[in-house]
Structure 1
Amino acid sequence: MKTYSKFLAATSITFMLAGCSLLPNHSDKGKKEQKSTPITKISSPVQYYPSATPFKEGVNRGQITSYLHSKLDIDEVELGLMELSQDEYDTDDYIYQEGQLIDNDELDDWLKRSSTTDKGLNPPIKTKKDASVDDKLKAEEDNPKYLAYVLEQDYLDKDGNVAGMSLGLVLHSTYYFKTTDSQGLIYNGSKKLSTQKAQEYGKKVAQKIVDQLRKKKDTKDLPIYFTLFQESNKGDILPGQFVSSNYIKGSGDKLGGWDDLNRKYYLFPSGAADKDQKEVAGQIGLFQDELNKYYGKSRSMPVVAKGLFVDKNLQKLSVEIPVASMSKTEIISLSQFVANMLTEGALPNHSIIEVKITALDKIRSFILFDPNEDEPFIHVYD
């Protein structure tokens, strides 16, 4: 069975993704600015874009954390948008670059209400200056914001010129708001939003963005790929989901019909998974039974998994096996046993499977199963 160095498997897929954007800037001061050139793509079970060099930080880098409350959502929006963009920008023909064309001020204006700025893309609101706290909260509840964030990704041609743009429009599932009284005390409120209304609003916003971008020199003839992403609620243990997409050519100024994106995460075990994904839920249950048989009565082995389903088919399964305490030799033994089970099809062997064996919130072992490889990757941490 293959064993890999600590550098390779720090977490295989996470490491591979790092090649997409987290690269050092090799340009020297005093030199003329170079055009972006591609870095060779990293071989991985999932297709990713080569990255541009010298590296350019996105002009809104880090700003997303001020608007989205969930790290799960942030990761899903950033990586999911890159994955979905492959439908329009082939990884063999395009180079990835963090967004450079929508600056901080423009993005901030978009996320404001239209009653605050002409460029605002959220609904207007009117309250009197001397309005009571209750009146302010009622006005926010009656006029919720729908647009939470807009993520930009740029795609370059082989000459380093921006040849396409992808925009991920993040929509609130629940609108959380707050107001203050005359003494500065803070009052919080929230409103659960209709999924249908949020998506309808997002589609209107996308057209308004097209209208604004077509007035700018850098984007007037640029193809744009749009996605709508419905964020999760506070406290959710699964990320939100992409719900629809659209594409407009460089010569276009009106969006056509939207395509549904049937992407959804399931937690195993859970009632929703038992109802909608019975076969996979059953396999995970049997997988856990085999682990318990391996240890007999000496241990109980819990298994928690998260599965991404696209068009109702499992695309990726992330499994965690938390253990209370194990020696390194025990971790090695368990890792080999799990890898053998994956090879023998104990879990769905047509999709990518990540398994983490953890103890005290630290990863002790990482196993990656790729259906296109003969054997799983294994790394046991020091």
Structure 2
Amino acid sequence: MKKRWLLLLLMGSTFLAAACGISPGEEADQGNAAQNEETNSADGEQQDIVESQVNDEYYRPVITEGAYQPSQSRGITLRLNSNVNLESFETGLMRLSQKYFPIEDHFFQEGQFLPSGTVTHWLQRESENYPEGLNPEDNGKVEEDERNPIYLQTLLEQDYYVQTDEGLELAGISIGLGMNKIDYYRKEQFGSTFESEISRKELLEQGQRMADEIVSRMRSMEEIPDVPIVVGIFEQSPSDDLAGGVYIAESSAPSGADSVNGWTQLNHRKAVFPLAGTESNEGNSFANFKSEVESFFPNLSGVVGIASYVDDQLIDMSINITTQFYGEGEMIAFTQFVNDAAETYLPMNIPIEITIDSIDGVEAFLFRETGSNEFRGHIFN
């Protein structure tokens, strides 16, 4: 959940509360107590580890020469067709990576080995100009059933390190393949946008083929150490979908292997409330929460919840409340009421985040961590 991660970093932290259990001035346990251990990378750059961990659900970052290093292919993930797909793509790969690189003894850095130009070429259609293009060549067709679609929309690299006596050492690399469920394309001569739907079976076949090719290419790059490479296949949702996509398959290539070692299909899905209805316990809980909130504050534009499931088990929920904003006192009262309603009606024992928006942006944020019974939060001035 990216919003909770950003809030924990920015808050430092001032938490709200009154009767509802959020108290002003409460400080994060480790907010300003970051301590770094200095090491040196292979190319002589000094690499540090941020020892403080604001939440045990997130990796501690690696910093180089005292600064956070963005990905070498920064911005390419923006090719996904919505912000919710982008967030699910990035955080979902971190979640998959935990199975191979446990949070307690691994450190995270955005991808530093695949240059932007290389990734851009790989995302092209195979052609004379782009012989390394992973997408099929353009057959010149426009009709949905005849056109070769763009399968691979974007690619994401994440690097994971361990601390050794000699310093930081790369433990593995994770690669996310952002695949299209629907290929949107425009032909100027027709003046309109077309859609080509790609079946799950075809998407998986193409993703698995591309994964083997990518791993093989990475093994041939001298600058990339011989470490395990984890690959996840992400099926991005349609552009008008509120929930975002999910990872549908994962695999890994052990050190020295030029291809992945078998695939595990994943049973991940998302549901949007109230669209999903009250057929489930969590759907009914959300309906009660929504009704309670709407009865307190009439100027609401919408209350929408997104639930994430793994193997049909609810693992987290995020809720967005859009409202008109007239004054600070009104927003404080409303946020405290939302806090009480959330503790009363929403499912227990899962992490939940609630964002309260207005036309001016985010007004307030509440979240509950795994294993906690109380929400914490912040009202933005």
The offset of 1:149, in angstroms, is 1.3
Q: Say whether 1:238 aligns with 2:238.
A: no
Aligned to 2:221: 216
1:102 aligns with 2:114: yes
Report the residue type matching 2:349 in the other structure. Answer: H
Match runs of 1:1-382 below 5 Å: 12-16=4-8, 33-44=44-55, 46-54=57-65, 55-65=68-78, 67-116=79-128, 117-127=130-140, 136-138=141-143, 141-158=146-163, 159-180=167-188, 188-219=193-224, 221-270=226-275, 272-275=276-279, 278-292=280-294, 294=296, 302-343=302-343, 345-360=344-359, 362-373=361-372, 375-382=374-381
AA aligned opposite 1:34: E
TM-score (norm 1): 0.80
* Paired AA for residue 257 in structure 1: G
Q: Report how many aligned residue pairs link the two structures.
A: 344
TM-score, length-scaled by structure 2: 0.80
Matches of 1:256 and 1:154 in 2, distance apart? Answer: 20
Please give the alpha-carbon distance, in whole angstroms, between the structure 2 residues aligned to 1:300 and 1:167. Answer: 40
Identity of aligned residues (%): 26
Residue ranges of structure 1 left out of the alignment (5+ in a row): 1-9, 20-26, 128-135
Q: Which moved more, 1:202-211 or 1:350-359?
A: 350-359
Conserved in 2, the CA contact under 8 Å of 1:141 and 1:191? no
For residues 139 and 303 of structure 1, do their structure 2 counterparts lie closer, same or farther at Cα, with a shift above 3 Å needed? closer
CA distance 1:16–1:126, shift in 2 (3 Å): same
The separation in 1 between residues aligned to 2:305 and 2:217, in whole angstroms, is: 43
Q: 1:326 to 1:221 in 2, by over 3 A?
A: same
After TM superposition, give the deviation of residue 91 of structure 1 in Å: 1.6
Instruction: Summarize deviations over 1:126-185 as a string: whole Å, max 9, x none.
Output: 45xxxxxxxx4249942112111111111122223322100001111111223455xxx8
SS at match of 1:36: strand
Instruction: Quote the Cα distance in structure 2 between the aligned partners of 1:165 and 1:140.
Output: 37
SS in 1 for 2:363: strand
Conserved? CA contact 2:85–2:237, under 8 Å: yes
CA distance in 2, matches of 1:336, 1:161: 46
1:10-48 Cα offsets, whole Å, 9 max, x none, are 9643234789xxxxxxx9xxxx94332211243226333
Letter in 1 for 2:304: V
Q: Note if contact 1:68-1:148 (Cα within 8 Å) is conserved in structure 2.
A: yes
State the superposition RMSD in angstroms: 2.9
Q: Which deviates more, 47-56 or 202-211?
A: 47-56
Alpha-carbon distance change, 140 to 52 in structure 1, aligned in 2, over 3 angstroms:
farther
The 1-side partners of 2:214 and 2:229 are apart by: 10
TM-superposed CA distance for 1:249, in Å, is 1.0
Q: How far did residue 299 of structure 1 move?
A: 6.9
Shift of 1:78: 1.4
CA contact (8 A) 1:45 1:370 kept: no
Task: Select between 104-113 and 279-288 the one with higher mean Cα deviation.
Answer: 104-113
More off after superposition, 44-53 vs 56-65? 44-53
Q: Deviations over 1:312-331 (max 9, x none)?
A: 22222112233334543332
**Secondary structure, counterpart of 1:290 in structure 2:** helix
- Which one has the largest radius of gyration? 1
